[in-house]
Structure 1
Amino acid sequence: MKRLGGMLLLSAITLSSAASAADQKPYVSWGKPGVSFAQYRAEAVDCAYAGATKSFTDQAAYKDARHGLNAQDSELERGDVAEYVMIYRRNLRRNISKLQTYLVGNVEKCLLDRGYKPFVLTTDQKKNLDRLDRGSQERFEFLHALGSDGKILSEQSVAPEKR
Protein backbone atom coordinates (compact mmCIF):
# COMPACT_ATOMS: atom_id res chain seq x y z
CA MET A 1 0.00 0.00 0.00
CA LYS A 2 2.87 2.35 0.85
CA ARG A 3 4.38 1.69 -2.55
CA LEU A 4 1.08 2.50 -4.31
CA GLY A 5 0.80 5.76 -2.35
CA GLY A 6 4.35 6.69 -3.32
CA MET A 7 3.66 5.92 -6.97
CA LEU A 8 0.48 8.01 -6.88
CA LEU A 9 2.37 10.91 -5.32
CA LEU A 10 5.14 10.63 -7.92
CA SER A 11 2.53 10.51 -10.72
CA ALA A 12 0.76 13.57 -9.34
CA ILE A 13 4.02 15.52 -9.14
CA THR A 14 5.02 14.46 -12.66
CA LEU A 15 1.63 15.35 -14.12
CA SER A 16 1.52 18.73 -12.40
CA SER A 17 5.04 19.52 -13.64
CA ALA A 18 4.11 18.54 -17.18
CA ALA A 19 0.90 20.56 -17.02
CA SER A 20 2.73 23.58 -15.68
CA ALA A 21 5.37 23.32 -18.41
CA ALA A 22 2.65 22.96 -21.05
CA ASP A 23 0.84 26.01 -19.67
CA GLN A 24 3.89 28.25 -20.11
CA LYS A 25 3.68 30.59 -23.07
CA PRO A 26 6.46 30.27 -25.61
CA TYR A 27 9.13 32.97 -25.54
CA VAL A 28 8.70 35.22 -28.57
CA SER A 29 11.48 37.48 -29.79
CA TRP A 30 11.85 39.58 -32.94
CA GLY A 31 14.40 39.44 -35.70
CA LYS A 32 15.37 40.52 -39.19
CA PRO A 33 17.70 38.44 -41.38
CA GLY A 34 21.23 39.84 -41.59
CA VAL A 35 20.59 42.88 -39.37
CA SER A 36 23.75 44.23 -37.73
CA PHE A 37 23.93 44.30 -33.95
CA ALA A 38 24.13 48.12 -33.92
CA GLN A 39 21.02 48.47 -36.09
CA TYR A 40 19.20 45.75 -34.10
CA ARG A 41 19.79 47.57 -30.80
CA ALA A 42 19.07 51.05 -32.20
CA GLU A 43 15.77 49.95 -33.72
CA ALA A 44 14.79 48.05 -30.58
CA VAL A 45 15.36 51.17 -28.48
CA ASP A 46 13.57 53.39 -31.02
CA CYS A 47 10.52 51.11 -31.11
CA ALA A 48 10.46 50.72 -27.31
CA TYR A 49 10.55 54.50 -26.95
CA ALA A 50 7.81 54.93 -29.57
CA GLY A 51 5.62 52.43 -27.74
CA ALA A 52 6.30 53.82 -24.27
CA THR A 53 5.59 57.42 -25.24
CA LYS A 54 2.44 56.74 -27.30
CA SER A 55 -0.50 58.62 -25.82
CA PHE A 56 -3.27 56.38 -24.54
CA THR A 57 -5.60 59.08 -23.19
CA ASP A 58 -8.06 58.32 -25.99
CA GLN A 59 -8.32 54.66 -24.93
CA ALA A 60 -11.49 53.50 -23.13
CA ALA A 61 -9.40 51.58 -20.55
CA TYR A 62 -7.61 54.80 -19.58
CA LYS A 63 -10.88 56.73 -19.32
CA ASP A 64 -12.45 53.99 -17.16
CA ALA A 65 -9.46 53.87 -14.81
CA ARG A 66 -9.31 57.65 -14.58
CA HIS A 67 -13.02 57.88 -13.79
CA GLY A 68 -12.63 55.25 -11.08
CA LEU A 69 -9.68 57.04 -9.51
CA ASN A 70 -11.52 60.38 -9.57
CA ALA A 71 -14.57 58.82 -7.91
CA GLN A 72 -12.37 57.26 -5.23
CA ASP A 73 -12.13 60.41 -3.11
CA SER A 74 -15.89 60.68 -2.69
CA GLU A 75 -16.21 57.01 -1.76
CA LEU A 76 -13.54 56.78 0.95
CA GLU A 77 -14.40 56.15 4.58
CA ARG A 78 -17.77 54.54 3.85
CA GLY A 79 -16.96 51.11 5.21
CA ASP A 80 -15.61 47.86 3.88
CA VAL A 81 -18.35 47.15 1.34
CA ALA A 82 -18.18 50.63 -0.16
CA GLU A 83 -14.40 50.37 -0.38
CA TYR A 84 -14.71 47.02 -2.13
CA VAL A 85 -17.17 48.55 -4.60
CA MET A 86 -14.78 51.46 -5.14
CA ILE A 87 -11.92 49.09 -5.96
CA TYR A 88 -14.16 47.01 -8.21
CA ARG A 89 -15.33 50.10 -10.11
CA ARG A 90 -11.78 51.23 -10.73
CA ASN A 91 -11.07 47.81 -12.20
CA LEU A 92 -7.43 48.78 -12.50
CA ARG A 93 -6.14 45.27 -13.12
CA ARG A 94 -8.17 44.80 -16.28
CA ASN A 95 -7.66 48.36 -17.47
CA ILE A 96 -3.91 48.35 -16.85
CA SER A 97 -3.66 45.07 -18.74
CA LYS A 98 -5.57 46.59 -21.67
CA LEU A 99 -3.29 49.62 -21.68
CA GLN A 100 -0.19 47.41 -21.60
CA THR A 101 -1.57 45.45 -24.55
CA TYR A 102 -2.14 48.72 -26.42
CA LEU A 103 1.41 49.96 -25.76
CA VAL A 104 3.01 46.61 -26.63
CA GLY A 105 0.96 46.60 -29.83
CA ASN A 106 2.54 49.92 -30.76
CA VAL A 107 6.04 48.52 -30.18
CA GLU A 108 5.21 45.50 -32.32
CA LYS A 109 3.77 47.67 -35.11
CA CYS A 110 7.00 49.69 -35.13
CA LEU A 111 9.06 46.50 -35.39
CA LEU A 112 6.87 45.15 -38.20
CA ASP A 113 7.14 48.46 -40.06
CA ARG A 114 10.95 48.12 -39.91
CA GLY A 115 10.91 44.61 -41.33
CA TYR A 116 11.19 42.57 -38.12
CA LYS A 117 9.30 39.30 -37.67
CA PRO A 118 8.35 37.49 -34.46
CA PHE A 119 9.81 34.03 -33.83
CA VAL A 120 9.54 31.50 -31.00
CA LEU A 121 12.61 30.25 -29.19
CA THR A 122 13.09 26.49 -28.96
CA THR A 123 13.28 24.86 -25.54
CA ASP A 124 17.09 24.74 -25.70
CA GLN A 125 17.33 28.36 -26.86
CA LYS A 126 15.04 29.40 -23.99
CA LYS A 127 17.18 27.49 -21.47
CA ASN A 128 20.30 29.26 -22.75
CA LEU A 129 18.51 32.62 -22.62
CA ASP A 130 17.40 31.98 -19.04
CA ARG A 131 21.05 31.64 -17.99
CA LEU A 132 21.75 35.22 -19.09
CA ASP A 133 20.92 38.23 -16.93
CA ARG A 134 18.10 40.43 -18.18
CA GLY A 135 19.48 43.62 -19.66
CA SER A 136 22.98 42.19 -20.03
CA GLN A 137 25.10 42.65 -23.13
CA GLU A 138 25.39 38.86 -23.43
CA ARG A 139 21.61 38.50 -23.52
CA PHE A 140 21.27 41.20 -26.21
CA GLU A 141 23.98 39.49 -28.28
CA PHE A 142 22.38 36.07 -27.84
CA LEU A 143 18.97 37.31 -29.01
CA HIS A 144 20.60 39.19 -31.90
CA ALA A 145 22.44 36.04 -33.01
CA LEU A 146 19.13 34.18 -33.13
CA GLY A 147 17.12 37.06 -34.58
CA SER A 148 19.54 37.86 -37.39
CA ASP A 149 19.83 34.24 -38.57
CA GLY A 150 17.60 33.81 -41.63
CA LYS A 151 17.37 30.02 -41.15
CA ILE A 152 16.11 30.38 -37.57
CA LEU A 153 13.63 33.05 -38.62
CA SER A 154 12.23 30.93 -41.45
CA GLU A 155 11.91 27.81 -39.27
CA GLN A 156 10.67 29.44 -36.04
CA SER A 157 8.67 32.45 -37.20
CA VAL A 158 5.12 32.97 -35.97
CA ALA A 159 2.33 35.27 -37.06
CA PRO A 160 2.20 38.59 -35.19
CA GLU A 161 -0.61 38.77 -32.64
CA LYS A 162 -3.61 40.85 -33.56
CA ARG A 163 -3.94 43.66 -31.02
Structure 2
Amino acid sequence: MLRCLTAVLVLLPVAVGAAERPTLSWGKPGVTLETYRADAVECGREGYYLDISNTDAAKVFKDASRQLENNEASLGMTGGNLDRAMQIANDSGRIVERTRPAERMKQVRTLLQDTVAGCLRARGYSQFQLTHAQRQYLKGLKPGSLERHAYLHGLASNPAILAAQHL
Protein backbone atom coordinates (compact mmCIF):
# COMPACT_ATOMS: atom_id res chain seq x y z
CA MET A 1 0.00 0.00 0.00
CA LEU A 2 2.79 2.42 0.89
CA ARG A 3 4.58 1.66 -2.37
CA CYS A 4 1.43 2.49 -4.35
CA LEU A 5 1.04 5.76 -2.48
CA THR A 6 4.66 6.65 -3.14
CA ALA A 7 4.22 5.99 -6.88
CA VAL A 8 1.13 8.21 -6.98
CA LEU A 9 2.89 10.96 -5.04
CA VAL A 10 5.80 10.93 -7.47
CA LEU A 11 3.83 10.72 -10.71
CA LEU A 12 0.86 12.97 -9.95
CA PRO A 13 2.62 16.34 -10.19
CA VAL A 14 4.40 15.29 -13.38
CA ALA A 15 1.13 14.39 -15.08
CA VAL A 16 -0.70 17.48 -13.82
CA GLY A 17 1.93 20.06 -14.73
CA ALA A 18 3.38 18.65 -17.95
CA ALA A 19 1.00 20.30 -20.42
CA GLU A 20 0.89 23.68 -18.68
CA ARG A 21 4.52 24.77 -18.83
CA PRO A 22 6.14 26.59 -21.74
CA THR A 23 9.40 25.20 -23.08
CA LEU A 24 12.22 27.05 -21.36
CA SER A 25 15.95 26.72 -21.65
CA TRP A 26 19.12 28.44 -20.50
CA GLY A 27 21.69 30.19 -22.62
CA LYS A 28 24.79 32.33 -22.60
CA PRO A 29 25.96 34.28 -25.64
CA GLY A 30 28.90 32.60 -27.35
CA VAL A 31 29.18 29.64 -24.94
CA THR A 32 30.96 26.66 -26.47
CA LEU A 33 29.17 23.32 -26.73
CA GLU A 34 31.72 21.76 -24.38
CA THR A 35 31.22 24.41 -21.69
CA TYR A 36 27.44 24.38 -22.20
CA ARG A 37 27.28 20.62 -21.61
CA ALA A 38 29.72 20.70 -18.67
CA ASP A 39 27.80 23.51 -16.95
CA ALA A 40 24.51 21.68 -17.48
CA VAL A 41 25.90 18.51 -15.91
CA GLU A 42 27.50 20.31 -12.95
CA CYS A 43 24.42 22.40 -12.17
CA GLY A 44 22.16 19.39 -12.64
CA ARG A 45 24.26 17.53 -10.08
CA GLU A 46 23.83 20.36 -7.59
CA GLY A 47 20.08 19.90 -7.83
CA TYR A 48 20.28 16.11 -7.85
CA TYR A 49 22.41 15.90 -4.72
CA LEU A 50 20.57 18.62 -2.79
CA ASP A 51 19.58 17.32 0.64
CA ILE A 52 15.83 17.84 0.97
CA SER A 53 15.41 15.62 4.02
CA ASN A 54 14.87 18.55 6.40
CA THR A 55 12.39 20.48 4.26
CA ASP A 56 8.82 20.93 5.44
CA ALA A 57 7.60 18.77 2.56
CA ALA A 58 9.90 15.90 3.48
CA LYS A 59 8.86 16.11 7.12
CA VAL A 60 5.18 15.96 6.16
CA PHE A 61 5.80 12.94 3.91
CA LYS A 62 7.78 11.18 6.64
CA ASP A 63 5.03 11.78 9.18
CA ALA A 64 2.31 10.61 6.76
CA SER A 65 4.33 7.51 5.89
CA ARG A 66 4.69 6.64 9.57
CA GLN A 67 0.94 7.09 10.10
CA LEU A 68 0.13 4.95 7.05
CA GLU A 69 2.50 2.22 8.20
CA ASN A 70 0.80 2.22 11.60
CA ASN A 71 -2.59 1.93 9.88
CA GLU A 72 -1.30 -0.88 7.69
CA ALA A 73 0.04 -2.71 10.74
CA SER A 74 -3.27 -2.38 12.56
CA LEU A 75 -5.07 -3.76 9.51
CA GLY A 76 -3.42 -7.10 10.18
CA MET A 77 -4.85 -7.03 13.69
CA THR A 78 -8.49 -6.60 12.62
CA GLY A 79 -9.10 -10.34 12.69
CA GLY A 80 -11.50 -10.15 9.77
CA ASN A 81 -13.48 -7.23 11.24
CA LEU A 82 -14.76 -5.48 8.10
CA ASP A 83 -15.89 -2.36 9.97
CA ARG A 84 -12.42 -1.89 11.45
CA ALA A 85 -10.81 -2.48 8.06
CA MET A 86 -13.07 0.18 6.50
CA GLN A 87 -12.20 2.62 9.29
CA ILE A 88 -8.49 2.06 8.67
CA ALA A 89 -9.00 2.62 4.94
CA ASN A 90 -10.88 5.87 5.65
CA ASP A 91 -8.19 7.00 8.07
CA SER A 92 -5.52 6.30 5.44
CA GLY A 93 -7.43 8.35 2.89
CA ARG A 94 -7.63 11.29 5.28
CA ILE A 95 -3.90 11.03 6.02
CA VAL A 96 -3.10 11.23 2.30
CA GLU A 97 -5.56 14.09 1.81
CA ARG A 98 -4.03 16.12 4.66
CA THR A 99 -0.59 15.55 3.21
CA ARG A 100 -1.57 17.39 -0.01
CA PRO A 101 0.98 15.42 -2.06
CA ALA A 102 0.75 17.50 -5.24
CA GLU A 103 1.46 20.69 -3.29
CA ARG A 104 4.35 19.11 -1.37
CA MET A 105 5.93 17.70 -4.52
CA LYS A 106 5.62 21.10 -6.17
CA GLN A 107 7.52 22.60 -3.21
CA VAL A 108 10.33 20.06 -3.62
CA ARG A 109 10.41 20.50 -7.41
CA THR A 110 10.64 24.28 -6.99
CA LEU A 111 13.52 23.93 -4.51
CA LEU A 112 15.44 21.65 -6.90
CA GLN A 113 14.76 23.90 -9.90
CA ASP A 114 15.81 26.99 -7.95
CA THR A 115 19.07 25.27 -7.01
CA VAL A 116 19.87 24.46 -10.65
CA ALA A 117 18.75 27.93 -11.79
CA GLY A 118 20.96 29.63 -9.19
CA CYS A 119 23.95 27.59 -10.35
CA LEU A 120 23.33 28.50 -14.00
CA ARG A 121 22.82 32.19 -13.21
CA ALA A 122 26.08 32.19 -11.23
CA ARG A 123 27.80 30.93 -14.39
CA GLY A 124 26.33 33.75 -16.50
CA TYR A 125 23.35 31.97 -18.05
CA SER A 126 19.91 33.49 -18.52
CA GLN A 127 16.60 31.82 -19.22
CA PHE A 128 14.75 32.08 -22.52
CA GLN A 129 11.54 30.67 -23.94
CA LEU A 130 11.48 28.64 -27.14
CA THR A 131 9.14 29.77 -29.91
CA HIS A 132 6.41 27.51 -31.25
CA ALA A 133 8.53 26.67 -34.31
CA GLN A 134 11.56 25.87 -32.14
CA ARG A 135 9.43 23.63 -29.88
CA GLN A 136 8.03 21.78 -32.89
CA TYR A 137 11.50 21.19 -34.32
CA LEU A 138 12.78 20.05 -30.93
CA LYS A 139 9.94 17.51 -30.65
CA GLY A 140 11.30 15.82 -33.77
CA LEU A 141 14.71 15.28 -32.18
CA LYS A 142 15.35 12.24 -30.00
CA PRO A 143 15.88 13.16 -26.33
CA GLY A 144 19.53 12.72 -25.39
CA SER A 145 20.70 12.68 -29.02
CA LEU A 146 23.70 14.66 -30.24
CA GLU A 147 21.43 16.42 -32.75
CA ARG A 148 19.14 17.62 -29.96
CA HIS A 149 22.07 18.86 -27.85
CA ALA A 150 23.54 20.65 -30.86
CA TYR A 151 20.19 22.26 -31.71
CA LEU A 152 19.63 23.50 -28.16
CA HIS A 153 23.20 24.75 -27.97
CA GLY A 154 22.70 26.63 -31.22
CA LEU A 155 19.75 28.45 -29.68
CA ALA A 156 21.38 28.88 -26.27
CA SER A 157 24.59 30.43 -27.59
CA ASN A 158 22.98 32.76 -30.15
CA PRO A 159 22.98 36.35 -28.79
CA ALA A 160 20.10 37.43 -31.08
CA ILE A 161 17.84 34.56 -29.92
CA LEU A 162 18.71 35.17 -26.28
CA ALA A 163 17.93 38.89 -26.59
CA ALA A 164 14.63 38.33 -28.43
CA GLN A 165 13.37 35.44 -26.29
CA HIS A 166 14.81 36.40 -22.89
CA LEU A 167 12.50 36.03 -19.88
TM-score, normalised relative to structure 2: 0.76
Q: Secondary structure at the match of 1:112?
A: helix
Unaligned runs of 5+ in 2: 1-18, 76-84
The one-letter amino acid paired with 2:37 is R
| Fraction of identical pairs, as percent | 32
Q: 1:152 aligns with which of 143, 161, 166?
A: 161
Moved more, 34-43 or 76-85: 76-85
Cα deviation for residue 24 of structure 1 reads 4.4
RMSD over aligned CA atoms reads 1.4
* 2:60 aligned with 1:64: yes
Q: 4+ residue runs of structure 1 moved beyond 3 angstroms?
A: none
Residue pairs, 1:21-36, within 5 angstroms: 24-36=20-32
Unaligned runs of 5+ in 1: 1-22, 159-163
The one-letter amino acid paired with 1:70 is R
Q: Secondary structure at the match of 1:72?
A: helix
Alignment size in residue pairs: 136
Deviations 1:49-68 (A, max 9, x none): 01110111221111111111
* 2:147 aligned with 1:138: yes
Structure possessing the higher relative contact order (Cα contacts under 8 Å, 6 or more residues apart): 2
TM-score, normalised relative to structure 1: 0.78
* 2:125 aligned with 1:125: no
The aligned counterpart of 1:110 is 119
